[in-house]
Amino acid sequence: LRVHLDASTFTLLISTHSRFELLSEQLSYYSASPMISTIVVTWHNMNIKAPPDARVNGTYIRFESPTTDSLNNRFQPLAYITTEAVFILDDIKLHLQDMHNMFAAWKENKQNLVGASPRWVDGGSSEPGSGGRASAPHNLAYLTQSELRSLILSIVAAEFNCEDIGMNFVVNAARSSANPPGADAAPLFVRPLHRIGDFGKMGDTGLHQKKSHTTARTDCLNQMNRAFWQATGQTGLLHAGRLGFLSERGAMCR
């Protein structure tokens, strides 16, 4: 059964655990956009029951309560998503103008990830830099549940903090197999016009503040690059020069 997906608006998916004040601000701010038809909140706090579904500024707010506290939950297929594009966000605040610009760019490149702040890897060091937001396609969740599942998701599950890197490999594989040789499967960077508020880097308890953060993500990147090469025969994301990949912390996909 082929389901018609709306291409004129997009779904915003927000992951949250305990930053409830920020979540309230996000819901109030993003629900005012006419381009966001539904906001799905993935509720990761296992000790507090998620609020009931509601409407804010006429926008439907839906709370998804997974059975585990895992960053991978943002990629679970949700049958009630009815838009072609899904924008993935967590503890950041992105200006609506920048989000709308990314949506416009994505509509011209529907098979690519589109984001507003890339993470860079130097060709020699393979160390992910700072920043990172992205946009992905609606069917990305189904790709992560099927193609490269045993390779990419096993690494994501073991390392905990690499789901955004895995997302880039999965999309790259899907794009590369569908396109003629030489076609660009890389994610697209849309430079933001406004400053991005990253609440994940505030305080001393966030994931980004841990000393092992960069080391763990570098290991993930190297593992996934090898796994990707073994599965597809391609060199994956690592190649000469600088590599840019997009984080799920602000991502649009199809």
Question: What's the pLDDT band for 176 if we cut at 50, 70, 90?
Answer: low
Is pLDDT larger for residue 238 or for residue 181?
181
Q: Is residue 15 part of a domain?
A: yes
Q: Is residue 122 part of a domain?
A: yes
pLDDT on residue 116: 80
Q: Is residue 72 part of a domain?
A: yes
Q: pLDDT by residue (tens digit) across 203-233?
A: 555 555 556 777 888 888 888 878 777 766 6
pLDDT surpasses 90 at 57: yes
Rounded Cα distance between 247 and 188, Å, is 12
233 in the Ramachandran plot: left (φ > 0), alpha (ψ -120 to 50) or beta? left
Range of the domain at 99: 6-253
Mean pLDDT of all residues in 108-131 = 61
Q: Is residue 159 part of a domain?
A: yes
Name which of 67, 74, 72 is nearest 13 in CA terms: 74
Rounded Cα distance between 40 and 61, Å, is 6
Q: Is residue 81 part of a domain?
A: yes
Mean pLDDT of all residues in 118-144 = 48
CATH of the domain at 201: 3.90.550.10
Mean pLDDT of all residues in 176-190 = 65
What amino acid is encoded at 207 in this protein?
L
Rounded Cα distance between 102 and 62, Å, is 23
pLDDT on residue 243: 42
Rounded Cα distance between 236 and 64, Å, is 33
Do the Cβ atoms of 42 and 248 come closer than 8 Å?
Answer: no
Residues 6 or more apart from 127 whose CB is under 8 A from it?
121, 214, 218
- The per-type count for the chain, helices as H runs and strands as E runs, is 6, 13
Question: What's the pLDDT band for 165 if we cut at 50, 70, 90?
Answer: confident
Is pLDDT larger for residue 135 or for residue 45?
45
Q: What tokens appear for 68 in the block? A: 């585990």
pLDDT on residue 149: 61
Q: Is residue 85 part of a domain?
A: yes
3-state SS string over 85-123? Answer: EEEEECCEECCHHHHHHHHHHHHCCCCCCEECEEEEECC
Q: Ranked by mean pLDDT, which of 74-88, 180-194, 222-236 comes out on top? A: 74-88
Q: Is residue 144 part of a domain?
A: yes
Is pLDDT larger for residue 235 or for residue 219?
219
Q: Is residue 1 part of a domain?
A: no
Rounded Cα distance between 171 and 175, Å, is 6
Into how many domains does the chain fold?
1
| Mean model confidence pLDDT for the chain | 74
